[in-house]
Amino acid sequence: MSRTIQWIEIGTIIRSLGCCPSEGELHDLIADVEEEEPTGYIRLEKFLPVMTEVLLERRYRPIPEDILLRAFEVLDPAKRGFLTKEELVKYMTEEGEPFSQEEMEEMLSAAIDPESNSIHYKDYISMMVVDEN
Amino acid sequence: MGCGSSIAKKPRGSDKAIRAAMIIQNWYRSYSARLKVRQRYALTIFQSIEYANEQGQMQLSSFFTFMLENYAKANEKERELVTRIFRNDPQEKDREDYVKMINVPESYNGPRLQFPLTFTDIDLLIEGFKQQKILHAHYVLAVLFEAKKVLMQMPNVSHIKTFPSREITVCGDLHGKLDDLFLIFYKNGLPSEENPYVFNGDFVDRGKNSIEILMILLVTLLVYPNDLHLNRGNHEDFLMNLRYGFTKEIMTKYKLYGGKILKILEEVYTWLPIATVVDNEILILHGGLSESTDLNLLHRIERQKMKSVLIPPISPDEEDMIDSRKNKGGGRKGRTSVILSEQLLQHEWEQLVDILWSDPRGKRGCYPNKSRGGGCYFGPDVTSKILNKYHLKLLVRSHECKPDGYEICHDGKVITVFSASNYYEEGSNRGAYIKLRHCMAPRFIQYQVTKSTCPRTLYQRVNTIEGSAIRMLKERMIARKTDLVRTFEAHDHTKSGKVSLGQWAFSMESVMELNLPWRSLSAHLVNTDKDGKINYMSSFEDVLIQKPVKEVQSSIIETLCRYRSDLKIIFNVIDTDHSGLISVEEFRDMWKLFKTHYSVHIDDSQVDELANKMDLNKDGSIDFNEFLKAFHVVHKFDTK
């Protein structure tokens, strides 16, 4: 066991522990645990205290369901109850911390209603919450 | 400055939309990460169990050695048994004539090959296999004989050049997954003078089209011997095939001639080259390196003497003991010296095992590969040392399944390429191949075969492989129930039926001998009460081993279940005519040897009882496939 991981895996680890940092917050955190001269590898002994603090301070809390719903509603000002595929793709790949093509495809595979080519976000959120539990 | 507080401020205009988008992206990435981690767990489970089985394989190897060592002390029957396993049958020298005698009936509608083979035959073969035809045994045998002749002319290590302007494609393990091979040919074109390929071992076992893949590769080899390069993998081994499915595939598809095919296949394997060197810079071989890897030695050894990783060379002392015994018995002089002259020297054999079985790891140095039971773990320092020693720049190897089909390690000096997508289960991993060109960085192409036309969501895919992995793990647990319960009870002083999570995880790790994240997996494997204590017997509530005979003790059942794969191999080896039957006596003899070597404490009388019961028609022979099938695990609440 080398007790190191590659820096690109840090995000997966933190998120799997229930935290929801943004990409920006993630980069700051990685900078904290990297070596003086970055090798691409993070050592467990450096990561552990930082991660412990994150957990104890309850940083990067998950998004509550109602906030998530409101975020979708912001993107749907006409209050239709859905977003078209084009609209979702535009927002997710052009605004905020843009998705890669792979992330976009992945999200669409579960979110899209193939008949209407749109995302009924309220149902989508409920389904995702059930998935998790 | 978290997202939560910002939303309260309600910034205006497109800022609002940006904030909203960020919330959704953040939430999705977290969800996706949690799913991916579950996928990783599942993969780890599959891989650990796979390697533990390989370890079992090596134990079997030492069992065969044990058998040879006890050869001298053995009785007539046992000696005959061992000789059958280790001696090459000289009577079948001119089997090739046999092939010509096999008739291909008019009614056969599969591919008809014409010798000498041309690219037309490759197309015919692929078309036929796409239509799920089975190639007639006549052609299979003909191809094997021709391929053997061609392979015999090849050196242990092939040297090829890509410049001036060719790209060479390197593919990793295929393991009988024909769809992956078709996909590779579709994306990358068929092999030809302009499109050379290296297939880096493990073409067979596990998947259901091993023979088809082997036929395509060998026919292509015969058509383009300078442009199609095959390296031997650890599964190009007749004893591995007994355990991992290829033998069964052949005997199922070729009921009449399967035995003949298997015999010639044994030899074809031994003639497969060991490694390929591209442009004097890139070393391609199946497993890996060790500290002592000596490429010059590997160029020189008689590779065809490596029959199987499970048959290590017997040492000279044993030879003397056996020889003297022989002379006493009168008359069978020189048989063992024949065996000896047909085997490699110990250090040569070890070098080959290292090449076929080793895995790269981050830790420096070279350590025995405990999880597989053969070869070693080699660190970046070993890679540097060996590559520098022979003025090489890169090692391309396969042997390990990677989630993305390939992985780079050791500062870019080692690339693992694995070409069987969905190896463990649908959705478990992608496959990949590499394009190499002189003076350019390697290019990687990834893919994943999907059965359904409608792509499944990440959630669905993860659920499937997680389910499979947990099932496998539970089956392994039930086969060790007695040991597990004993260990739990040792921690449970108040006999409450409960232990702490820590105690449970510790017990699981020590008994199961699998390096898995037990704490994280506990939710899938066992019930926890509201105080956080583990109800350890709950794991066994929904799984049981079918008892074919009521009177037999649970511990025997568990042992048979646990060693089922090993017993299968042993029985198959005894059953040289592949009839599926062995005599009750042979069963008893083998069981005695097995019992001693594996230190299994089972009453002889109980086994006798079992054997007698299994000899259903009382004719003195046991259908061992039926026998072994009897000890399978039943999932009580199976909806599959």
Question: Considering B541, B571, B586, which residue would you say is the last residue of a domain?
Answer: B541
Q: Which of A15, A20, A74 shows the shortest C-beta gap to B16?
A: A74
Other Cβ atoms closer than 10 A to B476:
19
Peptide bond into B164 cis (omega under 30): yes
In chain A, which among 104-133 make CB contacts under 8 A with chain B?
A: 106-107, 109-110, 128, 131-132
Q: What is residue B596's predicted lDDT score, i.e. its pLDDT?
A: 74
pLDDT range class, residue B318, cuts 50, 70, 90:
low
Q: Which phi-psi region, left, alpha or beta, contains residue B411 (left: φ > 0; alpha: ψ -120 to 50)?
A: left
Query: Where are any strands of DSSP class E within B505-584?
Result: 527-528, 534-535, 543-545, 581-583
- To test the contact with chain A by mutation, choose from B10, B16, B27 the residue with the greatest count of A C-beta atoms within 10 A, namely B27
Q: Which chain A residues have a beta carbon less than 8 Å from that of B448?
A: none
Q: Which residue has the higher pLDDT, B465 or B569?
A: B465
Cα–Cα distance measured from residue A109 to residue A103, given in angstroms and rounded to the nearest whole number: 10
Question: What's the pLDDT tens digit per position in A38-87?
Answer: 777 788 888 889 999 999 998 888 888 899 999 999 999 899 999 999 99
Q: For B225-246, what is the mean pLDDT?
A: 90
pLDDT tier for residue B447 given thresholds of 50, 70 and 90: very high
Among B14, B18, B29, the strongest candidate for a mutation testing the A interface, having the largest count of A CBs within 10 A, is B29
Q: Which residues contact B502 (CB under 8 A, 6 or more apart)?
A: none
pLDDT the model gives residue B281: 93
**Mean pLDDT taken over chain B:** 82
Output phi, psi for A43, to 5 deg: -90, 140
% chain B with pLDDT above 70 = 80
Quote the number of domains for chain B: 3
Q: Which residue of B has its CA nearest to A69?
A: B24
pLDDT for the residue numbered B15: 86
Which among B18, B22, B24, B27 is the top mutation candidate for probing chain A, defined by the most A β-carbons within 10 Å of its own β-carbon?
Answer: B24
Contact state of A132 with B24 under an 8 Å Cβ cutoff: no
B166 within a domain of the structure (yes/no): yes
Alpha-carbon dihedral sign for residues B168, B358, A43, A63: positive
What is the nearest CA distance from A30 to chain B, expressed in angstroms? 17
State the pLDDT confidence band at B2, using cuts at 50, 70 and 90.
Answer: very low
In a domain, B28, yes or no: no
Query: Which residue, B511, B541, B571, sits at the end of a domain?
Result: B541
Map B399-457 to HEC letters: CCCCCCCEEEECCCCEEEEECCCCCCCCCCCCEEEEEECCCCCCEEEEECCCCCCCCCC
Residues B479, B425, single domain; the answer is no
A57 vs chain B: nearest CA distance in angstroms?
Answer: 13
Residues in chain B closer than 8 A to A110 (CB atoms): 457-459
Contact at 8 Å (CB) between B369 and B287? no
SS3 B214: helix
Residues of B in contact with A40 (CB under 8 A): none
Are the Cβ atoms of A103 and B23 closer than 8 angstroms? no
- B532 and B559 co-located in one domain: no
Q: Would the pLDDT of A19 be above 70?
A: yes
- Map residue A111 onto helix, strand or coil: helix
Distance CA B638, CA B59 (A): 33
* Residue of chain B with shortest Cα separation from A70: B20
Distance CA B177, CA B209 (A): 6
Please identify among residues 131-190 of chain B the ones whose CB lies closer than 8 Å to any CB of chain A: none
- Could you give the CA distance from residue B126 to residue B212 in angstroms, rounded to a whole number? 9
Å between A107 CA and nearest CA of chain B: 8
The Cα A126–Cα B346 span in angstroms is 64
Q: Do B562 and B440 lie in a common domain?
A: no
Q: Which band of pLDDT confidence, cut at 50, 70 and 90, is reported for residue B438?
A: confident
Same domain assignment for residues B551 and B629: yes
- The stretch B156-169 carries a mean pLDDT of 87
Q: How far is B457 from chain A (nearest CA, A)?
A: 5
Span B420-435, mean pLDDT? 90
Q: Tell me if B4 is assigned to some domain.
A: no
**Residues A98-125, mean pLDDT to the nearest whole number:** 88
Q: Which residue has the higher pLDDT, B48 or B598?
A: B48
Residues whose CB falls within 8 Å of the CB of residue B572, separated by 6 or more in sequence, listed in order: B242, B247, B578
- Residue at B299 is within a domain: yes
Helix/strand/coil for B345: coil
User: Is residue B102 scored above 90 in pLDDT?
Assistant: no
- A4 CB neighbours in chain B (<8 A) are 362
Answer whether residue B70 is part of any domain: no
Task: Report residue B470 as tokens.
Answer: 């947990």
B204 neighbors B464 (Cβ within 8 angstroms): no
Q: In the structure, what pLDDT confidence band is assigned to residue B605 with cuts at 50, 70 and 90? A: confident
> Is residue B59 in some structural domain?
no
Position B11 confidence tier, pLDDT thresholds 50, 70, 90: very low
- Lowest mean pLDDT segment, chosen from B174-183, B581-590, B625-634: B625-634
What's chain A's average pLDDT? 86
Q: Does A8 touch chain B (CB under 8 A)?
A: no
- pLDDT band of B615, cuts 50, 70, 90: low
Residue of B9, B16, B28, B458 to mutate when probing chain A, most A C-beta within 10 A = B28
Nearest to B24 among A68, A106, A109 (CB): A68
Measured in degrees and rounded to the nearest 5, phi and psi for residue B445 equal: -120, 125
Residue B403 lies in a domain: yes
Q: Is the separation of the CB atoms in B197 and B227 below 8 Å?
A: yes
Residues B101-112, mean pLDDT to the nearest whole number? 87
Answer yes or no: is pLDDT of A37 > 90. no
Say how far apart CA B431 and CA B175 lie, in whole Å. Answer: 12
Q: Is the dihedral of CA B601, B604, B606, B608 positive or negative?
A: positive
A95 and chain B in contact, CB less than 8 A: yes
Q: Do B37 and A91 make contact, defined as CB atoms within 8 angstroms?
A: no
Whether residue B367 sits in one domain with residue B292: yes
Model pLDDT, residue B456: 72
C-alpha distance from B17 to closest chain A C-alpha (Å):
6
Distance linking the first and last C-alpha atoms of chain A: 33
Which of B474, B508, B541 lies at the terminal end of a domain, its last residue?
B541
Minimal-distance CA residue of chain A relative to B455: A109
CATH number for position B194 = 3.60.21.10
Under an 8 A CB cutoff, do B458 and A92 touch? no
What is the arithmetic mean of pLDDT over B124-143?
A: 94
Together in a domain, B264 and B359:
yes
Of the candidates B25, B34, B458, the beta carbon closest to that of A92 is on B25
Give dist(CA B434, CA B170) in Å, integer: 5
Same-domain check for residues B580 and B537: no
Q: Could you give the percent of chain B with pLDDT greater than 90?
A: 42
Query: Are B308 and B419 within one domain?
Result: yes
Sort out which chain B residues have CB atoms less than 8 A from A133's CB and list them. none
Higher pLDDT, B596 or B174: B174
- Pick the residue from chain B with its C-alpha nearest to A26: B26
Same domain, residue pair B345 and B234: yes
Q: Which residues of B are catalytic?
A: 235
The 10 Å Cβ neighbour count of residue B396 is: 22
In a shared domain, residues B136 and B244: yes
Nearest to A74 among B20, B29, B33 (CB): B20
Angle at the Cα of B153 (from B152 to B158), degrees rounded to 5? 105
Sequence-ordered list of residues with C-beta below 8 angstroms from that of B401, at least 6 positions apart, any chain: B43, B46, B47, B173, B418, B420, B423, B424, B428, B429
Question: Looking at the domain assignment, is residue B68 inside a domain?
Answer: no
Could you give the CA distance from residue B227 to residue B160 in angstroms, rounded to a whole number? 9
Which residues of A are less than 8 Å from B377 in CB distance? none
Quick: pLDDT tens for B61-98. 666 666 655 544 555 555 565 555 555 554 454 566 77
Q: Has residue B323 got a pLDDT over 70?
A: no
CB contact under 8 A, B26 and A131: no
d(CA A54, CA A76) in angstroms, rounded, equals: 34
The answer to whether B21 contacts chain A (CB < 8 Å) is yes
Nearest residue on chain B to A17, alpha-carbon basis: B34
Q: Please tell me whether residues B345 and B434 are part of one structural domain.
A: yes
| pLDDT at B121 (0 to 100) | 94
Residues of B with Cβ-Cβ distance to A83 under 8 angstroms = none
What domain range includes position B521? 465-541
Longest CA span, chain B: 102
Q: Are B236 and B322 in contact (CB under 8 A)?
A: no
Helix (H) or strand (E) holding B598: helix B584-598
Higher pLDDT, B554 or A24: A24
User: Is residue B215 scored above 90 in pLDDT?
Assistant: yes
CATH number at residue B616: 1.10.238.10
Are residue B135 and residue B161 in the same domain, yes or no? yes
How many angstroms away from the CA of B55 is the closest CA of chain A?
A: 19
pTM of the model: 0.77
